[in-house]
Amino acid sequence: MINRAKTATTTNVGFTHEDFAKLLDKYDYHFSPGDIVAGTVFSIEPRGALIDIGAKTAAYIPIQEMSINRVDQPEEVLQNNETREFFILADENEEGQLTLSIRRIEYMRAWERVRQLQAEDATVRSLIFATNRGGALVRIEGLRGFIPGSHISTRKPKEELVGEELPLKFLEVDEDRNRLVLSHRRALVERKMNKLEVGEVVIGVVRGIKPYGAFIDIGGVSGLLHISEISHEHIETPHNVFNVNDEVKVMIIDLDAERGRISLSTKQLEAEPGDMVRDPQLVYSKAEEMAAKYREQLNAAPAVMEIPVAAVEEEDYEVPDAMEEPEIPEEVIPEAVEETTAEV
């Protein structure tokens, strides 16, 4: 550790080191955890650096607090005599030394940027660096973002997505809860929605069947044909009408860009109630004709034609923290650094 009072020199014969220390004691620096201060790199150590921030004792920044990203050598981030901003992470230890962080400043600014991107409803692109049981992990502005499995619109298995770049929309940006959740589905649906209209008939392929409905691939995005929108006649299960990989004609009844959902219907294409159960091909042959009638009624009386679409519950998933805990090196850490994980 380097004490500025001990290393200071003077050309005044009558001005001793003790006098210099007393002079410094007259100043009240008011350094507190959470403050951002300017500092100059005083000395680079093997696993950290000493920083002059104007206090009586040089402050210390451990290597794991030098960046959001992994740092193997302090010289990757800091150079001797470099001046920059530092975050005061922990209060003075027994020897009067403060612990600093650059990582916290980068996280603060990253959260500010992603909040702005969310406010602008921006689409971002990012590489998937890992997958887990619930979805996939990406990095946005250095923060770890999570894409739930239900919001990944691709035919590839999750495990094969590592290294692939995806367009993404923000679902949740919550710094207080340390959650950053994104959607690939929303980004694709928004792009597709620019070419789709409510009342339009589209051709799709059944990609999945659930008790509550069938998921239909329409040009690379997934729409939900809810069980209540299959037919006017009651249906016990969608399996009674569809099989996976069936090609179907469906009509768009709702486009929800905010939630990334396209709602579909074949019930509105039935000339007679129950046609989808008895003869789906008859419904498909008259689809455009029935859709035209639907649009006429929709334009004439939009309030009457408003169709409630039952919500589909999102899958339950655990969101990893957006701010990752720094990796503590296995090497012996100086006593002055032991409190770097203290909460601010």
Q: 205-218: per-residue pLDDT in tens?
A: 999 999 999 999 88
Average pLDDT (311-316) is: 48
Q: What is the pLDDT of residues 233-286, one digit of tens each?
A: 999 999 999 999 999 999 999 988 777 788 999 999 999 999 999 999 999 999
Checking if the pLDDT of 124 tops 50, the result is yes
Architecture of the domain defined by 196-300:
Beta Barrel (2.40)
Domain 116-195+313-336 fold: OB fold (Dihydrolipoamide Acetyltransferase, E2P) (2.40.50)
- Whether the pLDDT of residue 142 is over 70: the answer is yes
Sign for the CA dihedral angle at 230, 231, 232, 234 comes to negative
Average pLDDT estimate for 181-192: 87
Mean pLDDT of the region 15-31: 57
The chain-wide mean pLDDT, for the chain, equals 82
Q: Do domains 4-101 and 196-300 have the same CATH topology?
A: yes
> What does the alpha-carbon distance between residue 78 and residue 150 come to, in Å, rounded to a whole number?
42
Range with the lowest mean pLDDT among 26-40, 151-165, 318-332? 318-332
pLDDT at 338 over 70: no
Q: May I ask the CATH class of domain 4-101?
A: mainly beta
Residue 276 to residue 195: CA distance in whole angstroms? 27
Residue 323 has pLDDT above 80, yes or no: no
Model confidence band, residue 5 (pLDDT cutoffs 50, 70, 90): very low
Q: How far apart, in whole angstroms, are the C-alpha atoms of residue 77 and residue 82?
A: 10
Residue 327 has pLDDT above 70, yes or no: no
pLDDT higher at 326 or 60: 60
pLDDT at site 48: 94
Enumerate residues 6+ apart whose C-beta is below 8 A from 130: 136, 137, 162
Closest CA to 86 of 29, 162, 31, 6: 31
Lowest-pLDDT range, 136-145, 174-183, 186-195, 243-252?
186-195
Map out the domains of the chain as residue ranges.
4-101, 116-195+313-336, 196-300
Count the Cβ atoms, other than its own, within 10 Å of residue 320.
18
Q: Using an 8 Å Cβ cutoff, are 334 and 328 in contact? A: no
Give the Cα separation of 145 and 136 in Å (integer).
8
pLDDT at 20 over 70: no
